[in-house]
């Protein structure tokens, strides 16, 4: 549904100032233009909003929660669709699937592969990102997350070790060109040769650098922060663990306040009590919820491919398939953002309002889109999700377009 003038009323709206009970939101041309707190104080508006003169299409939220849409910075696929297939149809399919789970913006995340395969995926994603004439029917593709190939084989996890290689400015620049400048986030192991110059170069390009699949020691992690790195990829996974004599990557991620940390809160990548501890010790704004989901998210258990590697999804968990058919290490996830929210609330015991920023404004800040995304405020994009008390997604809106409606399935 596309609407130039929409009023969503009878909603419990989460704003940066707290909850608005029985409030209304006014949306015009994809932007939030009015907020009614439902307390008789009138409509707070941007510009000259003539409420009585607009032909507002009315939507009753039925008292459900109206939240800012979720922003997933680390997502390889979902709904059977895969970023690395290098196809706009695959990307749009992934965006439709994740919109049905409350995601309104995401970064198409690549995997370690050959140079040619990565270039193909980047070119397809760049075309989809810059297709401004296409009416949204799924999550907004904000840009690209380049995960690999500049990673450490020692901590490669489900990244194909045969395609890992040393970082170089030349290869980064070829990726940058293929992406048409749409790379927003890059993962890299800082201990690799030439990592320093590539990190500095990427930061100069405006790319957020995340430290990933790394066996770095604490000293190297501190240096990487000096070079401009500001994030750590899927905390505790694919990295040197914390040791009391060598804090390693995990220790640095927890102790260095400059670093935001990604968390996969599916209950198997990180212990639930550890999730709560991370929220307790990291500064405000430095915990980023992600899915790291691959194509099997939303699909039945069975065998799939993650890049070139065979994986098995069993009981909703994705593992590498070993030569004897048994389960190997974790290989991405089947998590969705709405499930990440519900599980994190359960794991931490915190209120929904305390967790939502980790799925919305905090990731928006990490990639520099907080002026348009991440909160329900006047002048921002009308990216929203309506959910009930059971964490069921009712409707999802992207720039004022209804891209998912549970009642029309």
Residues in the chain: 409
CA distance 357 to 350: 12
CA distance 24 to 61: 9
CB 263 within 8 A of CB 270: yes
Does the annotation list 77 as a binding residue? no
Classify 361 as helix, strand or coil.
Answer: helix
| C-alpha triplet 113, 104, 15: angle, nearest 5° | 135
For 162, phi then psi, to 5°, come to -70, -25
CB 147 within 8 A of CB 125: no
CB 338 within 8 A of CB 387: yes
CA distance 110 to 85: 10
Q: Which helix H or strand E contains 348, and what residues bound it?
A: helix 337-348
Q: How far is CA 67 from CA 20, 222, 291, 384, in A?
A: 11, 36, 18, 6
Does the annotation list 238 as a binding residue? yes
CA distance 88 to 127: 8
Does the annotation list 213 as a binding residue? yes
Does the annotation list 237 as a binding residue? yes
Classify 156 as helix, strand or coil.
Answer: coil
Please indicate whether residue 29 is annotated as part of the active site. Answer: no
Q: Indicate which residue of 215, 266, 292, 339 is catalytic.
A: 292
CA distance 130 to 141: 9
CA distance 306 to 294: 7
Does the annotation list 330 as a binding residue? yes
Does the annotation list 245 as a binding residue? yes
Does the annotation list 285 as a binding residue? no
CA distance 373 to 282: 23
Q: How far is CA 155 from CA 243, 345, 387, in A?
A: 16, 30, 38
Give the dihedral sign, CA 34/35/36/41. Answer: negative
CB atoms within 10 A of CB 241: 11
User: Crossing angle of helices 115-129/169-178, nearest 10°?
Assistant: 40
Tokens of 144: 């690209």
Catalytic residues: 292
- Binding-site positions for substrate: 158, 237-238, 245, 269, 330-332
- Binding-site positions for Zn(2+): 147, 213, 234
């Amino acid at each position: 549904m596309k609407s130039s003038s929409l009023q969503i009323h009878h909603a419990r709206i989460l704003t940066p100032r707290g909850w608005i009970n029985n409030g209304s939101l006014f949306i015009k041309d994809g932007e939030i233009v009015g907020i009614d707190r439902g307390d008789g104080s009138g409509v707070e508006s941007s510009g000259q909003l003539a409420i009585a003169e607009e032909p507002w299409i009315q939507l009753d939220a039925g008292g459900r929660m109206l939240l800012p849409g979720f922003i997933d910075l680390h997502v390889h696929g979902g709904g059977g669709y895969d970023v690395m297939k290098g196809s706009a149809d695959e990307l749009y399919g992934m965006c439709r699937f994740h919109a049905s789970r409350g995601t309104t913006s995401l970064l198409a995340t690549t995997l370690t592969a050959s140079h040619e395969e990565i270039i193909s995926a980047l070119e397809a994603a760049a075309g989809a990102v810059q297709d401004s004439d296409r009416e949204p029917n799924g999550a907004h593709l904000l840009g690209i997350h380049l995960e690999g190939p500049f990673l450490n084989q020692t901590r490669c996890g489900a990244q194909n070790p045969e395609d890992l290689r040393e970082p170089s400015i030349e290869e980064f620049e070829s990726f940058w060109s293929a992406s048409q400048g749409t790379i927003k986030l890059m993962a890299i192991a800082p201990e690799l040769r030439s990592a320093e110059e590539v990190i500095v170069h990427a930061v100069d390009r405006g790319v957020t650098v995340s430290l990933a699949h790394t066996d770095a020691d604490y000293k190297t992690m501190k240096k990487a922060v000096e070079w401009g790195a500001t994030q750590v990829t899927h905390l505790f996974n694919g990295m040197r663990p914390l040791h009391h004599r060598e804090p390693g990557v995990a220790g640095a991620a927890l102790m260095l306040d400059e670093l935001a940390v990604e968390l996969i809160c599916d209950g198997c990548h990180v212990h639930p009590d550890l999730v709560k501890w991370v929220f307790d010790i990291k500064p405000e704004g430095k915990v980023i919820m992600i899915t790291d989901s691959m194509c099997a998210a939303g699909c039945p258990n069975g065998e799939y491919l993650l890049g070139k590697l065979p994986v098995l999804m069993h009981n909703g968990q994705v593992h590498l398939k070993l030569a004897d058919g048994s389960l190997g290490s974790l290989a991405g996830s089947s998590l969705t953002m709405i499930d990440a929210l519900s599980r994190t609330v359960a794991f931490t015991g915190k209120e929904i309002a305390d967790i939502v920023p980790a799925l919305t404004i905090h990731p928006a800040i990490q990639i520099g889109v907080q002026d348009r995304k991440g909160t329900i405020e006047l002048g921002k994009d009308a990216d929203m999700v309506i959910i009930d008390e059971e964490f069921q997604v009712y409707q999802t809106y992207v720039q004022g377009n209804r891209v998912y409606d549970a009642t029309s399935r």
